[in-house]
Amino acid sequence: MGTGQPDLSIWTEKRLRFAMEGAGVALWAWNVDTDKLILDRRSYEMWGVVSDTNVTFEDLSAHIHPADRDRVRAAFAATRAIMGQYEIDFRILVGEEVRWISARGQGEDDAMVDRTMFGIFLDVTGRKQAEESNELLAGEMSHRVKNLLAIASGLTSITSRSASSTEDMARQLTNRLTALGRAHDLVRPLPGQGQKDALLGDLLSVLLAPYDDLGAFSGRIRVSVPRMGVGEGAATTLALIVHELATNALKYGALSSDTGTLDVSATSHDDEDLVVVWTERGGPPVDSPTGQGGFGSRLINRAMSMQLGGTITCDWAAEGVVVTLTMNKESLGA
């Protein structure tokens, strides 16, 4: 008849060692009087220390990341006064590699055997990297949400001042937000691929595609720009600018005519700046505006200077407006 107690005889030394190796457990023993450490094979490998050498706590401390070294020394010194179990995580340097180690043990002098404390090391690098990635992702998501809320708030304010009715405001705001969405889709990271840049030509073509279907013939909008990447932040700003320019062209310029054309070209004048030229032709006669311009004009001027480190100029020629956008290449990659 069984006693109902588990049979602990199966836990032979060989089987215990097998289980510890499977769990990635490394053993250590520290003599608090001599400062000598006794490590098993896995501990030597984990710390990148030559095996079968005499190692003291101070020797091992030299491998601890400088930013964590004082904290770990203080924590190990304090473990002798701790009742019960303790745990501390810290970084070590193995060559140029940074590893995260979790040291766990039992405190209190009364529990010592021959003035020696016992414990384990665990390599928790994978877990720490995952935690750091999650924290980075959470911070990035928070940053993006705040940016989107700020953009939406600004667009709502601008649109409310320029709209003639609630229906007009809803339409304008929807169009502007849709333009942002199309730009965001081009630079949205795909699973497992990380952050990516949109190509400038793809970005402009996608943003202008809806307006190309409004004329009497297709292909009236032509885009010819160098092959270069545009980062997420710059893509969002460009989406706003392109939408404002296209909206004006649709209301008053070349896109208001069935036979009007729009050419968007770009040249790189030096290593720092990219110049994009927006040329409208075939629309109604153009009159140069008076005053400071509307809220849309202020929006794109502010976006060009603050987000893209550039400028915008307009030539109100009778045959069609020509808008020149000068942008900093470094800002385009942001």
Predicted pLDDT at 193: 46
Domains 12-123 and 129-332 share a fold: no
**Residue 95 region, left (φ>0) first, then alpha (ψ -120 to 50), else beta?**
left
Residue 112 is predicted with a pLDDT of 60
CATH for 12-123 (3.30.450.20, 3.10.105.10, 1.10.150.240, 2.30.30.30): 3.30.450.20
pTM beyond 0.85, yes or no: no
Rounded to an integer, what distance in angstroms lies between the CA atom of residue 38 and that of residue 29?
Answer: 5
Q: For residue range 258-307, list pLDDT tens digits in order.
A: 788 999 999 886 678 889 999 999 888 877 776 555 556 777 777 788 77
What ranges do the domains of the chain cover?
12-123, 129-332
Asked if residue 250 lies in contact with residue 208, where contact means CB atoms within 8 angstroms, the answer is: no
- pLDDT at res. 293: 56
Q: Say which residues have a Cβ less than 8 Å from residue 199's Cβ, sequence separation at least 6.
A: 227, 228, 229, 230
Q: What is the DSSP letter of 87?
A: E
Q: What is the pLDDT of residues 17-60, one digit of tens each?
A: 777 777 778 888 888 788 888 888 888 888 988 877 788 888 88
Give the three-class secondary structure for 268.
Answer: strand
Query: Beta strands 198-199 and 97-106: pairing type?
Result: unpaired
Q: Are 49 and 55 in contact (CB under 8 A)?
A: yes
**From CA 122, how far away is CA 44, in angstroms rounded?**
12
CATH superfamily of 129-332: Histidine kinase-like ATPase, C-terminal domain (3.30.565.10)
Bridge partners, residue 104, by sequence: 87, 120
Which of 37-46, 149-158, 232-241, 308-317 has the least mean pLDDT? 149-158
Within 8 A by CB and 6+ apart from 23, the residues are: none
In the block, residue with structure tokens 């795909």: 190
* DSSP string over 269-334: -SSSEEEEEEEEESSSPP----TT--HHHHHHHHHHHHTSS-EEEEEEETTEEEEEEEEEHHHHT-
Q: What is the pLDDT of residues 191-244, one digit of tens each?
A: 444 455 778 888 888 888 767 755 555 678 899 998 888 887 788 788 878 878
Percent of the chain residues topping a pLDDT of 70:
73
